[in-house]
Structures are given as structure tokens and as C-alpha cells.
Structure 1
Amino acid sequence: MNLSIIFAFAYGILAVVGGIIGYIQAKSRVSLLSGSISGFLLILAAYFQLQGQTWGSILAVLVTSVLVVFFAFRLAKTRKFMPAGLMTILGMLALAVMVNQIVTN
């Protein structure tokens, strides 16, 4: 198992947990729905990468890229580190690992 799979899975779990926390704290159904969908897609991408499907890597990069852009805009708007800053930093790290894996293969 390579780092790209681990990062896709971990960022997916983090997105799901973040959506659940957003729902619990702010009663935000949008957080729950978007966190669940994006997290599920990342976990699915990690699974397909494990199965040797190259499009799993592409899906992980696309979903992570969208999340990084979203959270970067959210951080610029709210200026609050949690959760936008943390998700932006972790997303950029995950994206760097994922893209590096694609380029080296």
C-alpha cells in the first residue's frame, strides 16, 4: 500500500468526521452532506487504488483539490483556523502526496 492510498483514506475519514462534527455543533445539514459525500468518494478512491484501478488516483486528486479550494476560500472568509485552516493544510499535504504518486508512476 502506498502513501497516496493512505492519505486518500485518512483525508476521507477526516472529511466524514468533520461533517458529523459540523452537524452536531452547528446543526449544519450541508456540512453533514458534503462531508459524507466527499469523504465517501475519497474512501472509494482509496479502495479502487488498492484494487489497481488508476482512475482511483485521479478521483482522489479531483476530490481533494475541490476540498482544498473550498476550505481555502472558507479560511480567507472566516479567518478561523478550525476547521478551514486545518483542512486546507492537510488537504494540500494529501494532494502533494497524491500528485507525486501519479507523476512517479
Structure 2
Amino acid sequence: MTLGIVAALVYGILVILGGIIGYFKSNSTISLVSGILSGVLLLLAAFVQFQGQSWGAILASGVTAFLVVFFAFRLAKTRKFMPAGLMIILGTLALAIMVKQLAVFK
């Protein structure tokens, strides 16, 4: 199991948990749905990578990049570090690992 797969798994789990926490804290159904959808896509990407399919790394990188941009807009709008700032930092770290993994596939 490569570091890119681990990054996708960990970030996917964190995104799912964040969606669940957002739902219970703010009663936000959109947080729950988007968190679970994004997290499941990241977990699927990790599973596909584990099976040896290179498109899993592309999917994981794309979902993570989208989430980093989304949380950057959220941070700019709310000016609150939690949870957007933390997710930007973790997402950027995960994305850097995933992009490095993409270079290995080429």
C-alpha cells in the first residue's frame, strides 16, 4: 500500500466525519450529503488504486483539489479557521502526496 493510497483513505475518512459533525453541529443536510459523497469517492479512489488502477490516483487528486478550493472559499467567506482552515491544510498535504503518487504512475 502506497502513501498516496493512505492519504486518500485518511482524508476520505476525515471528510466523512466532518460531514457528520457538520450535520449534528449545524443541522446541515448539505454538509452531511457532500461530506459522505466526497469521502466515499476518496475511499473508492483508494480502493481502485490498491487494485492497481492508475485512474484512482487521478480521481483522488481531483476530489481533493476540489475540496481544497471549496474550503478556501469557505474560509474566505467565514474567516473562521475551523473547520475550513484545518481541511485546507490537511487537503493540501494529502494532495501533495497524491500528486507525487501520480508522477510514479507516468
TM-score band, normalised by the shorter chain?
over 0.9
Q: Percent identity?
A: 65
TM-score of the superposed pair, with normalisation by structure 1: 0.98
Aligned residue pairs total: 105
> Partner of 1:82 in structure 2?
82
CA RMSD of aligned residues (A): 0.6
User: Does the residue aligned with 2:89 lie in a helix, a strand or coil?
Assistant: helix
Any residues of structure 2 matched to 1:1-105 within 5 Å, and which? 1-105=1-105
CA deviation after TM superposition for structure 1 residue 46, in Å = 0.2
User: Does the residue aligned with 1:84 lie in a helix, a strand or coil?
Assistant: helix
Cα deviation per residue 1:27-84 (whole Å; 9 max; x = unaligned)?
Answer: 0000000000000000000000000011100000010010000001101111111100
Q: Which runs of 5+ in 2 are unaligned?
A: none
CA deviation after TM superposition for structure 1 residue 104, in Å = 2.9
Distance in 2 (CA, whole Å) between partners of 1:44 and 1:104 is 20
Cα deviation per residue 1:76-99 (whole Å; 9 max; x = unaligned)?
Answer: 111111100000010000000000
